[in-house]
Homo-oligomer: A and B are copies of this chain.
């Protein structure tokens, strides 16, 4: 539990990564009350210097005693680091907000999107899990519709940007694109196949049921965050040659009929959502338009004529911000506000 203070000792674990860097920017942008900023990383990245609050700060290697006196630690250094150090931090009295998948489905750990289930965060035992990027934008847009009309089933296909896989993946898209334009051999390291000018229907590893981990995250995390295991969900997750922002083609069936106009009205009044939907003027959310933005953008809202009570939607959000760093910082903000 976090004690009320005027400012806090804040750590970012994974401070040299893409999401860690975004977390630092967002803490600064939103004037999070930071007393001292503590950047941590793996031993390989320790010693690098990051900028925070106008100061250059040396990144320290994470160790067992790193969390003494730390109030809040935002983790984004992979599941291995989270599994090892989150419990140590929690025992030291730190509130951990963990961006890895390590604890998301742990029944003792709340999985939180502030717009949906911030209440759950207050019952934390030291660790709060930040959901998967593709899930966060889905639930921010769908939860208001679920409250209004009860969603029975979701069929979602994602168009996910390479930044979801980190800095090296972004570099690989750039390098492969350059190689192809200059008729050079291309190198494939970060993805299972070429990503430039291609679409890969695989994100993360395959499970026994032939779904990928990413696909099952969307199924399981959505139910946990929305607090409703009766919602039926099926997901196909696809990597596309886009640098930033995930897009989602979403089909829902509801218990109560919702017209597109009703859905637009509900979403327009919902926190964290911007309705961007005017087909006559070719207006709908686009990944290149919403990079760096905080909100979840929803468009192409239209009736699904194939079922009595269905809607189609197109949902775009910045996977590094609302899909990762911003959501974690928002949880921290709401924790200290209460």
Contacts and interface: CB of A to CB of B under 8 A. Distances in A.
Contacts of A310: 234
Contacts of A159: 159, 199, 238, 240
B279 A155 contact: no
Contact of A249 (B153, B236, B243, B314): B236
A312 B201 CA distance: 12
A164 interface: no
A296 to B, nearest CB: 15
Nearest to A285: B201
Interface in A8-33: none
A300 B260 contact: no
Given A155-B155, A202-B282, A236-B249, A197 B304 contact: no
A306 B201 contact: no
B199 A306 contact: no
Nearest to A154: B306
Interface of A is mostly: mixed
Report how many copies the assembly holds: 2
B153 A306 contact: yes
B197 A306 contact: no
B247 A201 contact: yes
A83 interface: no
- What is the interface residue range for chain A against chain B? 35 or more
A39 to B, nearest CB: 30
A118 B282 CA distance: 38
A300 B210 contact: yes
Contacts of A249: 157, 201, 236, 238, 249
Contacts of A194: 286, 288
A232 interface: yes
A282 B153 contact: no
Given A201-B247, A201-B299, A307 B211 contact: no
A333 interface: no
A198 interface: yes
A181 B173 CA distance: 11
A260 B210 CA distance: 10
Given A155-B155, A178-B181, A247-B199, A241 B241 contact: yes
Given A210-B260, A303-B209, A314 B236 contact: yes
5 contacts: A157-B236, A193-B286, A193-B288, A201-B285, A232-B307
Given A202-B282, A202-B284, 13 more contacts: A153-B306, A155-B155, A197-B241, A199-B242, A200-B286, A201-B249, A210-B279, A210-B301, A219-B305, A232-B307, A233-B306, A234-B305, A249-B249
